[in-house]
Amino acid sequence: MKDKFYTYIETLQKTITSKLEEVDGTAKFKEDIWQRPEGGGGRTRVIENGSVFEKGGVNISGVHGELPDSMKTYFGVKEGNFFACGLSLVLHPKNPKAPTVHANWRYFELYGNDGEIVDQWFGGGQDLTPYYLFDEDAVHFHEVCKKACDKHNEFFYQTYKKRCDDYFWNTHRNEARGIGGLFFDYCKATEAMGMQDWFNFVTEVGNSFLESYIPIVTKRKDLDYSQQQRDWQEIRRGRYVEFNLVHDKGTLFGLKTNGRIESILMSLPPHVQWVYDHQPEEGSAEERLLHILMHPKEWV
């Protein structure tokens, strides 16, 4: 399964980066092949200063070795080796009318002293972070997510949409990072869903990513915007940074397992503002966005 999934994310990385270069029209992805001293490595692809994308990364990795002590405690085991692989992407468009997007699809194996698999699971999801909210974009993104889920289980969308709202929640701000999408983790074999079934579901979601995002960024990338709107984008990007550094489990796992720091932190936008006690104008589009971030909405 690990070989099968890694082959899948290698292909998916190529598909996604090719399409993003086409949409940007100017910038190309820079590629870094890296090795992890403890075992494994990855392929990082980053795009910067393009016509559409100010910064973005589409990374794959497959790492293995002994679990660090902190992760042994987290998983509740005394000894054990692991294998983890996945694709992680974050895209920060230049235009504040175009939303940031994040996605991740991953697979994990945990081994006993004899080298046998003692646990294995899939995880992942995708979520949208707009700075100016166009309702039809939110509906489109969630409709694509729901369509992918419904092919496998009628309850997946409502379950994983709720988990996304709960997970991407900036507790210290009492607001969501964005307008959600899907979040699933610890997807393990059961009588109803074997590992092949979970593979089919996760790859269905992965394959739907371009359909969920490209029409939105294509529609918004050339809209006019003011410096004030750009400032708001950078203030909201600050909230994005706060979540990734304070709450995100993937960032924590990468740092705890001696992952490649440039790849782990590629999600951080290049231009950000932290303005003291910033409050949007009453009745403005900015205030409406904040209201929805504090009260997650059912879009479909």
Is 102 among the residues known to form the active site? yes
C-alpha–C-alpha distance, residues 185 and 166, integer Å: 13
pLDDT band at 77 (very low <50, low <70, confident <90, very high): confident
| Domain locations in the chain as residue ranges | 2-294
Residue 156: pLDDT over 90: yes
**Mean per-residue pLDDT, 275-285:** 96
pLDDT digits (tens, 9 = 90+) for 83-141: 999 999 999 999 999 999 999 999 999 998 888 999 999 999 999 999 999 999 999 99
CA angle 141, 155, 106 (to 5 degrees): 65
The amino acid that residue 105 corresponds to is W
Tens digit of each residue's pLDDT (9 = 90 or more) over 224-246: 999 999 999 999 999 999 999 99
pTM of the model: 0.94
Question: E strands within 67-154?
Answer: 81-93, 100-111, 117-129
Task: Give the pLDDT mean for 136-161.
Answer: 98
Pick the CATH number of 2-294 from 2.60.40.1170, 1.10.10.10, 3.30.70.3340, 3.40.1500.10: 3.40.1500.10
* 267 or 91, which is more confident: 91
Active-site hit among 92, 102, 140, 142: 102
Residue 230, pLDDT score:
98
